[in-house]
Structure 1
Amino acid sequence: MGSRIRTAQKQARELGRLRTGYSIPSDDPKKRARPVKSTTWVLSSHAEHYVTAAAEAWGGEVERWQPQGNGAPQFRVITKAEQLDAILPPGDPLSQANEMWNKGGCARRCDGQTEQISRHPCLCLAEHGPEWHLLRQDLRTKDKVCAPTSRLNVVLPDMPDVGVWRVETHSFYAANELAGTVDMVLSGTGGKGLVPVTLRIEPRTRVAGGKTKHFPVVVVEIRGVTTRQALTGPLPTAVALDPTGARGVAAIEAPRPDYVALAEGALTSDDVRDTWRQAAAAGHVHPKGTDQLSKDLMAIAARKDEEAAALRAPDPGPEPDEDGAYPAEVVEDEQPSGNWPAVAQAGSGARA
């Protein structure tokens, strides 16, 4: 691999957006377009062939689409899929903030404590009190407070080109759940490797203040592997791309050799070191030997060396008993004829 600019932020190119709603233009040019919540995924992109591929994979009709504001024309498809197979890329794929936008761009971006643009404490809290987020449930006050904004980058493995698709949601519930799921995965993988997931639009119902509200929530689920497998460490790329296929299942379910038992049955410490190299090649030990398996194998190798040294030590000969008498000397018969001494001599040089 060639060199890199160390201070540059490395990120995959954004190919398009995954949305949970769309807008219907109003017949009155003075009125804003009417937003519609979708029960299926909506994909949009500047590249028509990306959207065409999505329509072929998940259904729907490709159409030209003009985003609200002064954005460049794009292409869009309202698919028939309630869930999509995706992959979480390496690093931290989730970005979150409480945001308020207007015609001039982002007016507020807050982490819940400090508003990042003005560097003042949370403005919504100061203006509307601790229950400020409830104002977003009322259309009359919705634009007066920030929206919990979550942006999740995912890879769609069956789509053309290399890059990420951005899922953006302003759901209060999705903000909490996405952060919990992604942070749990990152705690196990350290942000290394790919993680197969399913993106799902889940309908929810909330009853409060005598009113029933129906709303969709973006849900991220681990796909094709168990929680134990996902949190053990980075998955092999083949497993992440095809977790339910033959290669993926074989890579996950293949039992790990009992390296300790192999080391105990080894003849010499060199054989034990070969066992460690085998475990290292399979990714079961730390290269620096700081893991428990490496420590166990090193202890066995040291014991093998001690046993070999004891066998090489000279025989001190007979010692007298408590009465000062030596044991009777046993005189062996003369050596048998043939090549036995040669065989024994050759065997004595073998590794212990």
Structure 2
Amino acid sequence: MGARILTLQRQARELGRLRTGYTDGKRPMRSRTWVISSHAEHYVEAAAKAWGGTVESWTPLNSKIPQFRVITEAESIDALLPPGDPLSQYNEMWSGGGCQRRCNGETEQISRQACLCLAQFGEDWHQQPKGRVCSATSRINVMLPDMPDLGVWRAETHSFYAANEWGGTVDMVLSGTGGQGLVPVSLRIEPRQRVAGGQTKKFPVVVVEVRGITPRQALTGPLPTALALDPAGAEQPLALEAGRPDYIAEAEGALTSDDVRDVWRKAAKNGDVDPKGTDPLSKKLMALAALKDEEDKGPDEDGAYEAEVIEEAS
């Protein structure tokens, strides 16, 4: 029988990085297409076959360990969000000696002090020059379904706009799936511009887009793995595609809260909900049951309230 060390945090192996830039010698360069790098040459060769480009040996700045990279021809890459929370976000400051600050916006995690940038520069600290204060740093782990091996690829950005949008997208997805199952997405490099102070600034932003499914499907609950891996033909509601009853529709058509609870019991018997009721579908059904309870307290169609008749003893 298999066993695990319960105090260890299990995680998928990182296979490589998805980058939006590269170095030309020691000069950093932006790329309009994805740059894929890894320690394993055959991973990068597979990426070049899928998205174009030429595989080359490459050594990152401040490192002596050679890797491989390919500057692809793809502005968008299909990926999968793995189970759990794939997004990590902090305000960070780095130097040649490593990470000097890592702050969640309120507490700097290394020193355990209140936000140092806020204390030093006030509420507009983010307007200070780069390097003087922390940068918004977002890292997201994704799976590339058509690449070799099982593991995750990490994309990282220091964009303020991406930090807001990634958090919003991932949190909406997690509200529907509860962090269970795979979710198909696309990672796309989108050119943008901003006009402020009489100046126009052009910059790229990495966008995380839910791919091939509707909001109804994404928020109903964990997706069937087959649908997540091949969402291209998804046109029907998730409940029909998954081959399971549309429990929400049944509950909405129920007359009483007891009928709604019968729908939940049916779902539990079919193995479509957590027996403890902690999954998103169970919570929605219980919310509908509570709503039916409130409706039962109101008057009927004739304006009369249900009441218990008690006969007085003679």
Q: Name the CA shift for 1:162/1:210 in 2 (closer, same or farther; >3 Å).
A: same
After superposition, the Cα gap between the structure-2 partners of 1:122 and 1:193, relative to the gap in structure 1 and judged at 3 Å, is same
1:241 equivalent to 2:229? Answer yes
State yes or no: 1:223 paired with 2:211: yes
Query: Does structure 1 retain, via aligned residues, the 8 Å contact 2:117–2:133?
Result: yes
Structure 1 position 186 matched with structure 2 position 174: yes
Please state how far the C-alpha of 1:36 moved relative to its aligned partner.
1.3
Q: CA deviation at 1:258?
A: 7.4
Per-residue deviation at 1:132?
1.6
In structure 2, distance between residues paired with 1:285 and 1:124: 46
Equivalent residues in 2 for 1:198-347, closer than 5 Å: 198-245=186-233, 253-254=240-241, 257=245, 279-280=267-268, 282-284=270-272, 287=275, 291=282, 292=285
Deviations 1:253-289 (A, max 9, x none): 447557869xx9xxxxxxxx9x988754655555468
What are the Cα deviations for residues 31-77 of structure 1, in whole angstroms up to 9, with x where unaligned?
xx222111111100000000000000000010111100024110000
Contact 1:239 1:252 in 2 (8 A): no
Q: How far apart are the structure 2 equivalents of 1:278 and 1:130? A: 53
User: With structure 2 as the length reference, what TM-score do the two structures score?
Assistant: 0.79
Given the alignment of the two structures, is residue 196 of structure 1 paired with residue 184 of structure 2, yes or no?
A: yes
Contact 2:41/2:68 (8 A) holds in 1 = yes
The equivalences for 1:74-113 within 5 A come to 74-113=67-106
Structure 2 letter corresponding to 1:226: T
Q: Per-residue CA shift, 1:231-256, capped at 9, x if unaligned? A: 1100011111111248x969664475
Secondary structure of the corresponding residue to residue 35 of structure 2: strand
**2:117 corresponds to:** 124
Q: Which residue of 2 aligns with 1:14?
A: 14
Indicate the structure (1 or 2) with the bigger Cα radius of gyration.
Answer: 1
Checking the alignment, whether the CA contact within 8 Å between 2:216 and 2:238 is kept in structure 1 is no
Cα deviation for residue 145 of structure 1 reads 1.1
**How many Å separate the matches in 1 of 2:277 and 2:130?**
56
Q: Any gaps of 5 or more consecutive residues in structure 1?
A: 26-32, 136-140, 265-272, 297-352
The CA distance in 1 between the partners of 2:157 and 2:47, in whole Å, is: 20
Is 1:151 the counterpart of 2:142? The answer is no
Give the alignment's TM-score, normalised by structure 1: 0.71
CA apart distance, 1:216: 0.6
Match of 2:151 among 163, 171, 182: 163
Is contact 2:16-2:36 (8 Å) kept?
Answer: yes
Q: Distance in 1 between matches of 2:245 and 2:107?
A: 52
SS at match of 2:193: strand
Query: Given the alignment, which residue of 33, 38, 50 partners 1:45?
Result: 38
SS in 1 for 2:131: helix
Deviation at 1:4, TM superposition (A): 1.4
Alpha-carbon distance, 1:130 to partner: 1.5
1:172 maps to 2:190:
no
Deviations 1:159-186 (A, max 9, x none): 0000000000000110111001101111
Give the match for residue 296 of structure 2.
none
The residue that corresponds to 2:304 in the other structure is: none
Q: CA RMSD in A?
A: 2.7
> What secondary structure does 2:218 align onto?
helix
Once the two structures are TM-superposed, the CA of residue 129 in structure 1 deviates from its matched residue by 2.0
Gap runs ≥5 in structure 2: 255-261, 290-314
Query: Identical aligned pairs, as a percentage?
Result: 69
Task: Output the amino acid matched with 2:44.
Answer: V
Report SS of the residue matched to 2:126.
Answer: helix
